Structure 1
Amino acid sequence: MASIVKQENGRYKVRYRTPDGKDRAKRFDRKRDAQTFANTLEADKIRGTFTDPREAATPFSKVADQVMAGKLNLRPATRARDESLIRCHVLPAFGRVAVGRITRPQVQAWVSDLHEGGLAARTVRECYRILSGIMSEAVLSKIIPQSPCQKIALPRADHTERRFLSSDEVERLAGTFERDEALVYSAVYLGCRWEELAGLKREHLEPLRRQVRIVGTIERAGGTYNYVNLTKSEAGRRTLRVPGFLVEILAAHLARAPKSEWVFPAPEGGFLRYDNFRRRVWGPTVAGAGFEGLTFHELRHTATAIMVDQGADLLQVMRRLGHKDIRTTLQLYGHLFPNREDDLNDRLEAVFRAARVSNACPTDVVGLLASEAT
């Protein structure tokens, strides 16, 4: 139980013990405030929502360091990206602030300032995701009672910036790449990320089954590229069916490619490094073909557009792209899916009419069909 002691200077000291056995004290000018604090402490202990005021005074930067250190399963590239966003955009706003003093209005103002300052909507959302994750961990660790990251208005991602090529444009683009034609076709008709294609090994191809296994990626962290195995629980680890024409293209590519464990090796051997490929091959080639500014990742967008145009549903696209959550697919590409309400209504109409005919008495069928035909 918390106890209240009046001190010689007229102030009131509340002594209490945290659930983990630590003795704490807090001083107040008025007895009423001390009593309110003590009552709140005991009520929070009973409800299981107690948080230590001293812990809540911890600078956000220290909490962020603790949370990031505890993320043992982050891939090197993901960790490097998140730490960069924290350093550049999160800590300047909240680094020195006591974690318990960060409020929802402050978070909303921070999000708005980032967006109005010219930061891309997607980057703003990533920064908020990181902040929200740190605050959620602080709640779980009983550092703060609740997260200020609740019902925050976020900028919508701008889908108009994405570039999609038509199948004819893909054909024209691929034809301009002498050595890397198969790489372009694979990006478009498999929908893989750059790092997945760069990390694709010959042993992962199964031409007789017309499939390819995506089990590893080439990732960059701290200026160094490394091959990283995807865990079995990661959505990116998947087996893709390969169209017959692409099987033939890959077979021809491998027949003339230098001997290597990689499907798309670098000219000097080893795996492809994106910065070198972009500077030496991709940039000059796409510019010369009339596709100035086209990024390799936009081939993945093109793959999605082609899949949707050919009737793929949302779940098929999600699995093909290796998204962990269908909400990601919907957020990024939901606008590509056509509104098929009229087609759905026609199908429902057909089901209803067929059921009426099959359940009508034989003597009524002719009349029913005749009435529906008029």
Structure 2
Amino acid sequence: MGVARRCIYIYHAGMARRSWGSIKVQRSGMFQASYKGPDGKRHLAPMTFRTKGQAGRWLDREAGLIATGGWSPPDQRMREEKAAEEAPTVAEAFEDWMTALSVAGRRDGTLRAYRSRFSLTILPVLGESRVRDVSRSDIRRWWSQLCDGTCPPNLVGGVVRPRTNGQTRTAYIALRSFWSWCVRNDLCEVSPVAIPEASVHRPVRVVVQDHVATPEQVRDLAAAMPDSLAVTVWLAAWCQLRQGEVLALRRGDVDLEAETIHVHASLFRPVGGGIASGPTKSDAGDRVISVPPRVMSILRDHLERFTGEDDDALVVSNPEGGFVHPSTFGRIWKRAWASCGLEGLTFHDLRHTGLTIFAQHGATVAELMHRGGHSSIEVALRYQHATAERDRALARLMDGSVASP
């Protein structure tokens, strides 16, 4: 028989006394239960009872908790239960996180990317779970299902397909960032997101010679573009600008005397739709770079022919003087590389070309980071690939050091 079942009631002066715990009748007619706990302190029930039997049953439950080792002070338990009831779900906390990121000044493109990843791959599985209740095993299960295409179903042509490394990795990194914020804001004690292999980058394709254009190919690509957009090829290849930076460039950003360009803006797509100009991808992206003399001559000619006199005028613009939409630019670029027989060459490959050649001319990692607007050494190092031509040139130089047999 348990502790509570062995209690003996003794009544005296409106007080029902037991071998353990007591029940007191209040003036209101309600019953107040209390007992002396294992910590030596007296604990009151967090509520009063309409009948003595209800108060006694509460004491019986408390006695049972003590007997089985599951006891904690009633007021502490009530606070924990209330906190559990008020604890946000992953979906609720995600909205708070989005608000916090927006207030902190994160770009619309970043917010849109996070929302897309959560909506497609995270919230359908974890959205209704409370943040504090999600365990590492839950995250592991989500990750396994994500990789095999069943979380939620990744349908390609009606068939479930595993997601690419890029898709799973970005979803995992977004989830890890979210849970770090939850920990900082006391929504949980530790992050359950701890899968080291999940954040490893495995390139879909290895950068090969075909994706490092030759100077002649760059020239041909510029010639294949409409006259008003040819300058974009020169800026991307030899000034190493990103597409969004090229399309957001304004006349006032070009210093004709110093022959430099101040890169401080980039196009992005706001959450509400459309396109707009905003800060560069990172603080490191805000930079002043020198323009090669030949490219400067091409840029001067373009400014005279196609750009307005106002400093705020876009270097390249649509017929109405506004931004060239990235989708429109993409279609024009595709026609250009197709006409040059350079299938699959992306506009970003021009930037890669310029940074690779910049490295071949002896640029240090720090100089590469500044030129490309990179914030991490790892990213800058990706642009130090050698082309086959450079490899052959170095081999010929090394030939003089080889002792003939």
TM-score, with structure 2 as normaliser: 0.68
Partner of 2:339: 288
Q: Distance in 2 between matches of 1:319 and 1:95?
A: 41
Q: Deviations over 1:246-301 (max 9, x none)?
A: 1111011112215360111123421211111222x212222122122322222222
1:228 aligns with 2:278: yes
Partner of 1:32: 69
Name whichever of 105-114 and 88-97 sits farther off.
105-114
Partner of 2:183: 139
Given the superposition, is the C-alpha separation of residues 153 and 256 from structure 1 closer, same or farther in structure 2, using an over 3 Å criterion?
A: same
Contact 1:55 1:143 in 2 (8 A): no
Q: Distance in 2 between matches of 1:337 and 1:286?
A: 20
Q: Distance in 2 between matches of 1:247 and 1:268?
A: 26
Contact 1:4 1:35 in 2 (8 A): no
Q: Distance in 1 between matches of 2:183 and 2:65?
A: 26
Contact 1:56 1:100 in 2 (8 A): no
- Distance apart, 1:203 and its partner CA: 0.4
Q: What amino acid is aligned across from residue 190 of structure 1 in structure 2?
A: C
1:102 aligns with 2:153: no
Q: What amino acid is aligned across from residue 273 of structure 1 in structure 2?
A: H
Given the superposition, is the C-alpha separation of residues 113 and 152 from structure 1 closer, same or farther in structure 2, using an over 3 Å criterion?
A: farther
Alignment of 1:332-371 (within 5 A): 332-333=382-383
Q: What amino acid is aligned across from residue 351 of structure 2 in structure 1?
A: R
Partner of 2:214: 166
Structure 2, unaligned stretches of length 5 or more?
Answer: 1-38, 46-55, 150-161, 389-393, 395-405
Given the superposition, is the C-alpha separation of residues 62 and 202 from structure 1 closer, same or farther in structure 2, using an over 3 Å criterion?
A: same
1:77 aligns with 2:109: yes
Given the superposition, is the C-alpha separation of residues 29 and 90 from structure 1 closer, same or farther in structure 2, using an over 3 Å criterion?
A: farther
1:205 aligns with 2:254: yes
Partner of 1:58: 88
Name whichever of 2-11 and 171-180 sits farther off.
2-11
Q: Distance in 2 between matches of 1:297 and 1:177?
A: 16
Q: Distance in 2 between matches of 1:51 and 1:122?
A: 40
Root mean square deviation, CA, Å: 3.5
Q: Distance in 2 between matches of 1:37 and 1:301?
A: 65
Given the superposition, is the C-alpha separation of residues 100 and 210 from structure 1 closer, same or farther in structure 2, using an over 3 Å criterion?
A: same
1:246 aligns with 2:291: no
- Distance apart, 1:309 and its partner CA: 2.5
Contact 2:239 2:354 in 1 (8 A): yes
Given the superposition, is the C-alpha separation of residues 217 and 103 from structure 1 closer, same or farther in structure 2, using an over 3 Å criterion?
A: same
Contact 2:355 2:384 in 1 (8 A): no
1:156 aligns with 2:201: yes
Q: Distance in 1 between matches of 2:114 and 2:85?
A: 24
Q: Distance in 2 between matches of 1:324 and 1:278?
A: 26
Partner of 1:272: 324
Contact 2:314 2:321 in 1 (8 A): no
Alignment match of 1:194 (pick from 223, 237, 243): 243
Q: What amino acid is aligned across from residue 288 of structure 1 in structure 2?
A: S
Please identify which structure carries the higher helix content.
1
> Aligned to 2:269, what secondary structure does the other structure show?
strand
Q: What amino acid is aligned across from residue 131 of structure 1 in structure 2?
A: L
Q: Deviations over 1:290-317 (max 9, x none)?
A: 1223222222222332222222222222
Alignment match of 2:163 (pick from 112, 116, 119): 119
Q: Distance in 2 between matches of 1:5 and 1:335?
A: 73
Q: What amino acid is aligned across from residue 156 of structure 1 in structure 2?
A: H
Partner of 2:62: 12
Given the superposition, is the C-alpha separation of residues 183 and 55 from structure 1 closer, same or farther in structure 2, using an over 3 Å criterion?
A: farther
> Aligned to 1:82, what secondary structure does the other structure show?
helix
Contact 1:212 1:241 in 2 (8 A): yes
Q: Deviations over 1:158-185 (max 9, x none)?
A: 1625433233322222222241221101
> Aligned to 1:209, what secondary structure does the other structure show?
coil
Alignment match of 2:234 (pick from 136, 161, 185): 185
- Distance apart, 1:52 and its partner CA: 8.4
Given the superposition, is the C-alpha separation of residues 8 and 262 from structure 1 closer, same or farther in structure 2, using an over 3 Å criterion?
A: same
Structure 1, unaligned stretches of length 5 or more?
Answer: 14-26, 42-49, 344-374
- Distance apart, 1:230 and its partner CA: 5.0
- Distance apart, 1:192 and its partner CA: 1.3
Aligned length, in residue pairs:
315
Q: What amino acid is aligned across from residue 269 of structure 1 in structure 2?
A: G
- Distance apart, 1:239 and its partner CA: 0.9
Q: Distance in 2 between matches of 1:318 and 1:52?
A: 51
Q: Deviations over 1:308-331 (max 9, x none)?
A: 22222222222222122334434x
Partner of 1:129: 173
Q: Distance in 2 between matches of 1:55 and 1:299?
A: 55
> Aligned to 1:184, what secondary structure does the other structure show?
helix
Which entry has the higher C-alpha Rg, 1 or 2?
2
Q: Distance in 1 between matches of 2:135 and 2:88?
A: 15
Q: Distance in 2 between matches of 1:195 and 1:186?
A: 12
Given the superposition, is the C-alpha separation of residues 258 and 136 from structure 1 closer, same or farther in structure 2, using an over 3 Å criterion?
A: closer
Q: Distance in 2 between matches of 1:126 and 1:75?
A: 17
Given the superposition, is the C-alpha separation of residues 246 and 59 from structure 1 closer, same or farther in structure 2, using an over 3 Å criterion?
A: same
Matched residues, percent identical? 25
Q: Distance in 1 between matches of 2:266 and 2:163?
A: 28
